[in-house]
Chains A and B, each alone.
Chain A
Amino acid sequence: MGGRFVFEKPDPHNAFITRCMDVAYGDGPLSGIPIGIKDNISTAGIPTTCASKILEGYIPPYDAHVITLLRSAGAAIVGKTNMDEFGMGTTTENSAYGPTQNPADPTRAPGGSSGGSAAAVASGLVRMALGTDTGGSIRCPASFCGIVGLKPTYGRVSRHGLIAYANSFEQIGPLARNVGDCALLYSVIAGYDPKDGTSLDLPPPAPLQAEIQGKRIGVPAEFFGEGVNPEVADVVRSAIDRLADLGAEVVSCTMPSMRYALAAYYVTSMGEAASNLGRYDGVRYGPAPEFFRPWHDAYSRLRKEYFSEEVRRRILLGTFSLSAGYQGKYYAKAQKARSMVRSDFNRLFEEVDIIAGPTMPSVAFRLGKSCDPLSMYLADILTVPANLAGIPAVSVPCGTAGGLPVGLQLMGRHFAEDEILAAALAFEEGSA
């Protein structure tokens, strides 16, 4: 039975950019469940801004494939959540609509770039939300806000309607307060879509059940390397011990390619971003350029004014890395490093079923403190490898450090979402 959902609760943490106050919902497995949608997922008739001024006022004429699936599952789509502009950031402070606060501590960032979705779930505004994960953008805010977030296998969830930042990395995925809800939302959005040329035709997700007994869990030394906060490392280590207590076999291993992962990720993603963001020129959406100027001049002024500094930085770096003479030096090398990461994972997954480690090297950052872009990029070190390889990874709350949530990251083989969710559920129930 369908109905209407009235979205009355206040939004004290600035989790939403656009709220739909009174929405109809239908029948299905998500019937009546309020769901927040990251504002880079196209929703017909609802503004979709990517938290950028350059898309201000843009109302997509069509629904993303996942939105179509949510609607037919009966979900109540209650609004579009805040994010780092075009997904570029680790704090959700880089939004044209102001930063989102972390419900666990409002002086801190919720993480990025799906920070609005995570905060909306963590504060109880919605039961579930969709985020997107390009280099950790679901898992980072899930970890910082103390909720569950899943980045599915690349190709498992259609990207049709997802406003691209870096096409070859990003996946839409669920955020929820517990593994059960996360798996439920995942089961609705996973599946083949002929409108996405990289979509995979796989059997539907299996029913969720806790399972960890006898699983071999690899713990790469690099996931506890330099830069990982010792307190966070301790919390995650004891979480992994609990997995062992629950019957898993824990194996130490190494991932030498980790040292190239960040560079490979940023070079490639910025190259793709520079290309994807070229279309924002003021001709069809966003504010109109001054038409009395030559078109190239108008474009450049408009893009300078309406893209944030971080977005411009990535566009320029991406443009540079693809330029004639530098392509081989940067982009081609990054592709090589990416395939090294892939083969490292392939090698490890011959020995182990799941790879575990911290999701983030630290707890949530203080708002307004993250001004050095390079140190922000370094924060993605533990999440980026899964995106480089296209494998699924889930972040599940595993305790606190200094009173702030810490996330345990479980990574699986391609298409092994069921396996890592089962392990995450076992952990969640076992630690409950």
Chain B
Amino acid sequence: MTVIIGLEIHCQLNTQTKLFCGCSTDYREDGPNTHVCPVCLGLPGSLPITNRQAVIYALRVAKALHCEVPEVSEFARKNYFYPDLAKAYQITQYDKPLAVGGYIDIEGEDGGEKRIQLTRIHMEEDPGRLLHMGSGDRGRYTLVDYNRSGVPLIEIVTEPELSSPKEARRFLNKLRATLEYLGTFDSEKEGSLRVDANISIKGHERVEVKNITSYKGVEKALMFEITRQKGMIRRNATIVRETRHYQEARGVTTSARSKEFEHDYRYFPEPDLALLRVSSWVDEITLPELPDARLDRFMKDYGLSKNHARTLTGDLRLADFFEEVCTGIPEIAAPWTADILLGELNYRDMPISKVPVQAFRSLLMEVKKASVTDKSAVEVLRLMLNQVMDGTPPEMADEIIARLGLAKEEGDSIVEIVTSVLAEHEAAVADHRAGKPGAINFLVGQVMKATRGRADPKEIGRIIGDLLKE
């Protein structure tokens, strides 16, 4: 059963002011309805004026994603009633979008490169938001906050060319990285990215899942929906064309009540705005280095593996962080950042921006000097991250190592320890001599235990080998 997935992705453009008025878009820390004016409230008589910066940002995205920008595009009204929609219509683009075509290359299921074609990119304004007091339908009343009303969005629509949740996840990661590299988008802001997904099994009707607001949610919603649809097909049930909602907390999709959400948007050209003739602006837009180019550069300049380079360039902040710490030690910095540090951050749900660059680099220098074992180094890293979480200033690696006595056991002292361990475990030594394969590991383990991890297991193995040969 072949899975066919297409995505519609709404991204908030990171402009200072809203799409059709001068209100600030920086509303998240502020109280409800503090960033509003007659235009974003849709007050009678107010008129929209297009924010030039928002158009330039959208064009920047269009150029980076290889889209074509038609000579003329047009804003239209999408009419529908909803309590958070100030004017009872949303200004969006309909049959004349800002950009058409384009593509994003991702790693496909087979590990090769896969090109996902885009249908279009268009601009639109965000509606406000509702705050239900009480639970669901039984809430006593609902409050409306128009701070978000008029925030500029772009909607990126893909062709139905994704074939698995994993590909969808990779696509979104690549898109997010590209948008962040462009400086037009901030994925750390709440609600900055929202996805609707069209999912079908080849030969059957498609289902639209709306309302997915997290990256993880997309993969989970798709997996749930594919399982559901495949199950229905196996039971010979008919998949009906419908809109479903993704419920983040439960990880399931549920059918939207069709009557309430049956829409006829009655699009028509927005009479208050002139046609957009901005295709010539595209030539003047210069693009920064984008994820693919940076990946190539990381491989070439730092000698990184493709996997490490992909991980490190997949996030603008991470890539910047890496370049700050890697000077002179890229071969150590790459695995320590991409594998170990990222793992620790994920576990703590900590953003890369919180990691103290100098402290982390000091740790890498200790690793380079081989003054600690890898195991101890991880211990030091965890301590540093805990210090950040506690709000205490992070110590440099050598301070922590000295304070906790984590310096690697080396030379004569380690030979002494090994000798005494061998003396304590004669049976294992005999087993080893008899050629039993597990015996050496046991002995190494005992030495590690005795040194509390402050020794290099490989070296211990070598020393044991040397001593027992004598």
Closest Cβ of chain A: how far from B267's Cβ, in Å? 8
- CB–CB B38/A61 < 8 A: yes
- CB–CB B81/A164 < 8 A: no
A225 interface hit (Cβ, 8 Å): no
Q: Find the residue from B44, B87, B142, B274 having the highest chain A CB count within 10 A.
A: B44
A281 interface hit (Cβ, 8 Å): yes
Contacts A61-B38, A281-B81 given; does A322 touch B268 at CB 8 Å: yes
A195 interface hit (Cβ, 8 Å): yes
Our pick among B44, B266, B273, B274 for the contact of A279 (Cβ within 8 Å) is B44
- Taking CB atoms, residues of chain B closer than 8 Å to A60 are 38, 43-45
Our pick among B81, B144, B273 for the contact of A278 (Cβ within 8 Å) is B81
Query: Apart from A160-B47, A296-B260, what 18 extra A-B contacts exist at CB < 8 Å?
Result: A62-B38, A159-B47, A164-B45, A166-B271, A194-B49, A196-B47, A197-B49, A198-B274, A271-B266, A272-B271, A274-B266, A278-B79, A279-B88, A284-B41, A295-B142, A319-B266, A327-B266, A327-B267
Please measure, in the bound complex, the distance between the C-alpha atom of A389 and the C-alpha atom of B42, giving whole angstroms: 28
B272 interface hit (Cβ, 8 Å): yes
Residue of A nearest to B130 (CB): A295
| 24 A-B contact pairs sorted by A residue (CB < 8 Å) | A50-B44, A61-B43, A64-B45, A159-B47, A166-B271, A167-B271, A167-B272, A168-B271, A196-B47, A197-B47, A197-B273, A272-B268, A274-B79, A275-B79, A275-B266, A279-B42, A279-B44, A283-B83, A284-B41, A285-B44, A296-B81, A324-B264, A327-B267, A331-B268
Interface residues of A in 263-281 (CB under 8 A from B): 271-272, 274-275, 278-279, 281
A58 interface hit (Cβ, 8 Å): yes
B residues whose Cβ falls under 8 Å from a Cβ of A: 38, 41-50, 77, 79, 81, 83, 86-89, 141-142, 144, 260, 264, 266-268, 271-274
Please measure, in the bound complex, the distance between the C-alpha atom of A281 and the C-alpha atom of B80, giving whole angstroms: 12
Please measure, in the bound complex, the distance between the C-alpha atom of A426 and the C-alpha atom of B89, giving whole angstroms: 47
- Taking CB atoms, residues of chain B closer than 8 Å to A161 are 45-46
Residue of B nearest to A41 (CB): B45
Contacts A61-B38, A61-B43 given; does A299 touch B268 at CB 8 Å: no
A162 interface hit (Cβ, 8 Å): yes
Residue of A nearest to B142 (CB): A295
- CB–CB B44/A163 < 8 A: yes
- Taking CB atoms, residues of chain B closer than 8 Å to A41 are 45
Residue of A nearest to B80 (CB): A278
A75 interface hit (Cβ, 8 Å): no
Q: Find the residue from B45, B77, B81 having the highest chain A CB count within 10 A.
A: B45
Closest Cβ of chain B: how far from A197's Cβ, in Å? 5
A48 interface hit (Cβ, 8 Å): yes
Please measure, in the bound complex, the distance between the C-alpha atom of A327 and the C-alpha atom of B266, giving whole angstroms: 8
- CB–CB A197/B48 < 8 A: yes
- CB–CB A275/B47 < 8 A: no
- Taking CB atoms, residues of chain A closer than 8 Å to B83 are 281, 283, 295
- CB–CB A197/B88 < 8 A: no
A residues whose Cβ falls under 8 Å from a Cβ of B: 41-42, 48, 50, 55, 58, 60-62, 64, 159-164, 166-168, 194-198, 271-272, 274-275, 278-279, 281, 283-285, 291, 295-296, 299, 319, 322-324, 327, 331
- Taking CB atoms, residues of chain B closer than 8 Å to A322 are 79, 266-268
Residue of B nearest to A62 (CB): B38
- CB–CB A279/B86 < 8 A: yes
- CB–CB B87/A278 < 8 A: yes
Please measure, in the bound complex, the distance between the C-alpha atom of A187 and the C-alpha atom of B273, giving whole angstroms: 25
- CB–CB A197/B274 < 8 A: yes
Our pick among A275, A285, A295, A296 for the contact of B89 (Cβ within 8 Å) is A275
- Taking CB atoms, residues of chain B closer than 8 Å to A285 are 44
Please measure, in the bound complex, the distance between the C-alpha atom of A160 and the C-alpha atom of B46, giving whole angstroms: 6
Residue of B nearest to A298 (CB): B83
Residue of B nearest to A170 (CB): B271
Closest Cβ of chain A: how far from B19's Cβ, in Å? 12
- Taking CB atoms, residues of chain B closer than 8 Å to A327 are 266-268
- Taking CB atoms, residues of chain A closer than 8 Å to B260 are 296
Residue of B nearest to A199 (CB): B47
Please measure, in the bound complex, the distance between the C-alpha atom of A131 and the C-alpha atom of B50, giving whole angstroms: 28
- Taking CB atoms, residues of chain B closer than 8 Å to A299 are 81
- Taking CB atoms, residues of chain B closer than 8 Å to A272 are 268, 271
Closest Cβ of chain B: how far from A427's Cβ, in Å? 34
Residue of A nearest to B39 (CB): A195
Residue of A nearest to B44 (CB): A163
Please measure, in the bound complex, the distance between the C-alpha atom of A61 and the C-alpha atom of B88, giving whole angstroms: 20
Closest Cβ of chain A: how far from B250's Cβ, in Å? 24
- Taking CB atoms, residues of chain B closer than 8 Å to A275 are 77, 79, 88-89, 266, 268
Please list the 3 inter-chain residue pairs (A to B) with the smallest Cβ-Cβ separation, ordered nearest first.
Answer: A278-B88, A322-B266, A168-B271
- CB–CB A42/B44 < 8 A: yes
Residue of A nearest to B84 (CB): A283
Please measure, in the bound complex, the distance between the C-alpha atom of A357 and the C-alpha atom of B340, giving whole angstroms: 85
- CB–CB A323/B266 < 8 A: yes
- Taking CB atoms, residues of chain A closer than 8 Å to B47 are 159-160, 195-197
Contacts A167-B272, A281-B88 given; does A323 touch B45 at CB 8 Å: no
